[in-house]
Amino acid sequence: MLFASILAGGTGTRMNLGDTPKQFLPLADKPMIIHTLDKFCLCGEFDAIYVGVHQDWTDYTQSLLGKYHLGEACPIKVVAGGETRNDTILNTLQAIEADYGVADDHLVVSHDAARPFVSLRTIKANIACVQGGSACDTVIAAADTIVHSNLSGDAIVDIPDRAQMFQGQTPQSFRIKDFEASYAALSDVQKAGLTDACKVLLAAGLPVKLVRGDSSNIKLTTAMDYKLAQMMIAVHESDVNDEAGD
């Protein structure tokens, strides 16, 4: 079976727009998280979608699902997130297992709620890869030269070949059992350091393939990102209107 785990556990308010975590801020006609969930619903290939949100925001998220008529095409379940990103992933995986049991062929596509511009093409490429038997990470070619510093961050150790350097995005997709086993095998120190799901898999020696994302699949973190996102939506809508007028 195929599941989505949408990560919205943060209470990040770095956008300085009050106390609302960024994933609930409006983008055009609806909250950011609804744009993201729409993409996963539209995909049509998931047996169920799980959303991990901070425990203070579960009721509000549930109310949004009703307001925007989500969950009609495919079940969406709201789960309380954990302290860390990996804890939130684990909470959604445990909820999936509580509802659907444990099986070797239970696969999950995990994605940041704060990346609402993910394309259907990228989601489907993740699904194809994980159904083909490999965990995968969504990346784009590094836009800038990447510089590797020494530990104190004051001098260059290496400027690696840019052709092999990528910027990580999400989705990240894997077998539920593989992630759980890999995470359980980590020490507490490793758990604190390995905040990236694919890094957890790599630490356990599991291969992770690369899926190409798009530069528009940005993570909205700062106030400037949020302004850029509003501009991207406006450009997109004017393109759609132009096409409709042709």
Binding site residues, its own copies, CB under 8 A: 137, 139, 142-151, 153-161, 163-169, 193, 196, 198-199, 202, 207-210, 215-216, 219, 221-222, 224, 227-228, 231-232, 235
Q: Rounded to whole angstroms, how far apart are CA atoms 195 and 172?
A: 13
Q: Which residue has the tokens 């106030």?
A: 223
| Radius of gyration in angstroms for the set of CA atoms belonging to the chain, rounded to a whole number | 18
Query: Please, what is the minimum distance in Å from the beta carbon of residue 74 to its own copies?
Result: 29
Q: What is the nearest approach in angstroms of its own copies to the Cβ of residue 187?
A: 16
Q: Would you say 17 or 42 has its CB closer to its own copies?
A: 17
Q: Is the Cβ of residue 55 or residue 216 nearer to its own copies in the bound state?
A: 216
Contact 80, 59 (CB under 8 A): no
Q: Which is nearer to its own copies, 67 or 148 (CB)?
A: 148
Q: Is 133 left (phi over 0), alpha (psi -120 to 50) or beta?
A: left
Minimum gap (Å) between residue 93 Cβ and its own copies:
20
Residue 192 and residue 171 in contact, taking contact as beta carbons nearer than 8 Å: no
Those residues with Cβ within 8 angstroms of residue 154's Cβ, 6 or more apart along the chain or in another chain: none
16: DSSP letter: -
* CA–CA dist 54, 209 (Å, integer): 30
Place of tokens 């120190």: 189
Pick 48 or 202: Cβ nearer its own copies: 202
CB of 79 to its own copies, least distance (A): 24
Nearer to its own copies, 44 or 207 (CB): 207
**Nearer to its own copies among residue 142 and residue 186 (C-beta):** 142
Q: Least separation, in Å, of the C-beta of 245 and its own copies? A: 21
The total of other beta-carbon atoms located within 10 Å of residue 75's CB is 13
Give the CA diameter of the chain: 60
- Spatial separation of the C-alpha atoms in residues 177 and 174, rounded to whole Å: 8
Shortest distance, CB of residue 28 to its own copies, whole angstroms?
16
Question: Please, how many CA atoms are within 13 Å of residue 44, restricted to the half-sphere of its CB?
Answer: 3
Rounded to a whole number of angstroms, the minimum distance from the CB of residue 140 to its own copies is 9
Considering beta carbons, is residue 103 or 141 the nearer one to its own copies? 141
